[in-house]
Amino acid sequence: MKFEDEAFVYLWQDGRQKPYRYYLGYHKGNPDDSYTHSSSVFESFSKDSIPDGVKRRVIAVGSAEEMMELENKILNNRKDSGKWDRYYNVITNFPPYMWEDPAYSEKMSEKMKKQNKKFWADPAFREMKSKSTKKQWEDPAYREMQSEKMSEQMKKQWEDPAYREMHSEKHTCTVCGFVALKRHIVRWHNDNCKHKNPLHELTEDDK
């Protein structure tokens, strides 16, 4: 790939139900690499497990700056066209620096939640997602990919001292004296403990 062709803009079409839905995105890489999309609404899948009825079209290739600009231009055009509800996209542009603004991040987070809620309120969408998810996990390549992701995620979590403490150190409930993992004590004991007395003094009313 030439430097001037370091990125591309793509469009996924979900034709499994009418009206068709779409996801448009930008990716810094090669159209032939393993990347599919980064949507938080459109289901996740690998290049080897693309659902039936779903297909991708590469709209253009070019420099990263050109492709990011083109993506924003197309998304804004689609939103202005009145057909935005047919897109899995939840934002029209995302300059990286804007996410550093807490107000902007909170606003977009709420927007994404509402968009997700709208999709999941549709019974047809829920059924489609259920069938698609089942089919995905029947694909050995997809299962392997997800397993690697989870392993990497767990590795990063256990590198966090706070996470290790929560999931390995045992604490004692200040109310009943019960000993368990810190996460259980935090959730079910101390201020949330239902027992009024230490365990060895519990009465039938305490249990």
Taking only the tens place, the pLDDT of each residue in 47-105 is 989 999 999 999 999 888 889 889 988 988 888 888 888 898 876 554 545 556 677 66
pLDDT at position 27 is 93
Q: Which residues contact 68 (CB under 8 A, 6 or more apart)?
A: 7, 26
Kindly state whether residues 51 and 143 are assigned to the same domain.
yes
pLDDT in tens, 109-157: 777 677 677 777 888 778 877 887 888 788 888 788 888 888 888 888 8
Could you give the CA distance from residue 56 to residue 139 in angstroms, rounded to a whole number? 20
Tell me the CB-side half-sphere exposure of residue 59, using CA atoms within 13 A.
18
**Are 175 and 143 part of one and the same domain?**
no
* Domain span including residue 189: 163-201
Q: What is the pLDDT of residue 203?
A: 47
**Residue 12 contacts residue 42 (beta carbons within 8 Å):** yes
Alpha carbon 155 to its chain's center = 19
- 116/191 same-domain check: no
Q: Which residues pair with 92 in a beta bridge?
A: none
- Please provide the size of the chain in residues: 207
Q: Is the pTM of this model over 0.85?
A: no
Residue 31 pLDDT: 92
* Closest residue by Cα to residue 14 from 145, 130, 129: 129
